[in-house]
Structure formats: structure tokens, C-alpha cells
Chain A
Amino acid sequence: GENVEQHPSTLSVQEGDSAVIKCTYSDSASNYFPWYKQELGKGPQLIIDIRSNVGEKKDQRIAVTLNKTAKHFSLHITETQPEDSAVYFCAAKHNSQGAQKLVFGQGTRLTINP
């Protein structure tokens, strides 16, 4: 089955600096890669996603890049703000039991220091 590895597990950056979180996946057939943000006491929320036929996607201060050959994808947050502090999860869509399911990485706890 699919295996998604995410690094780092914790990340602390100064407000205004950039943050990068990296993920690798094992199943070359995976074709959709979303990123979710989980704030304290809440469920994860989708912040950005990318399909396998695209190399990069940007939405204001966040961007995601995908390298299909190397099977890794990254989340980039620029000009970080205190409200960016949260746990971030990458995921890869994988075919299992005839249905497609998301396999999540282990999560990265991002802390923005004022």
C-alpha cells in the first residue's frame, strides 16, 4: 500500500520568514496530493492541493511543488504569520479495495515565533 513520509515533525520559524515542509510517497500511481491544516481542537482543513499532471501551484502565501519522478512534494509558506501556527498534514491519494483513499503523513507542528 501507499506510505507517506513527512518531515520535519516540528518546525519553528520567525514571523515573516518562510517555512517548508516535505513529503515523500511510495506509490507511483498516486495522483492527487492535498495539504491539510489542523488548528488546536479542530479537525483538519484543506488549504491547497495539487494533481499529478501539475508541477507547482500557488495560492497567495502558500505554494505546493510536486516532483513525480522523485515522488516527493513540498509545502511552502512565505511571510509567515502567527495564525499559520498549526499542525500540517500532507496526503496522497491511493487506490485501495476498489476505492480511492487518502493516506496522510505523520504531520508537522509549525510554530511561528513573533
Chain B
Amino acid sequence: GNSVTQMEGPVTLSEEAFLTINCTYTATGYPSLFWYVQYPGEGLQLLLKATKADDKGSNKGFEATYRKETTSFHLEKGSVQVSDSAVYFCALDNFNKFYFGSGTKLNVKP
């Protein structure tokens, strides 16, 4: 089947710290992979995506590389800001259906 597993939160970091949020997946075929961000009280916004193995998605300083050999799509950012505080969802799209991870809450303190 298809599923996404994310590291449990919350993750609390100081401003300018390095961020990693782990995401692994199981899927049949060749899914596309996504990271979405959800700010309090809002819907999901696409952060970045990758459609095939070894692709690197990047946006606003965040990066994630599609690793087929380890079935992973870990999210990284070199220097987080307070404004990055949100819930981050890893997701895969396989055969036109989305499967989401449980979300990881990130708290960044000044």
C-alpha cells in the first residue's frame, strides 16, 4: 500500500538552528513527493515537491531530495526563523491520490 511516516513532533529549535524533519514512504510505482506547510488556522500551502528519484525540491531555503534507495524525502533548512513555526506535512501522490504523513509541528524560538 501507500503510506507516509514522519517524525513526531513537536520540534523546538532556536532561531538560526539547522532543521531536519524526517519523512519516509512506502508506495507502489513511482510517486511524486511533496512537503506542505500549515500555519495556524489556515489550509495547506505547497512548500516544495519532487517528481522522480534524485530530484531536489527547494523553496524559501527549504530543501528535500527524493531518495528512492532509502524511500525518504527528508526536509532540511540551514537556518530557521521564527516565522517558520508551523506544521509540516510530507505527502505522496500515487495514481492521483494523495497520502499525508501525520504532520510535524515546528516551534522556532527567538
A and B from one complex: no
- Chain A positions within 8 Å of B, measured between CB atoms, are none
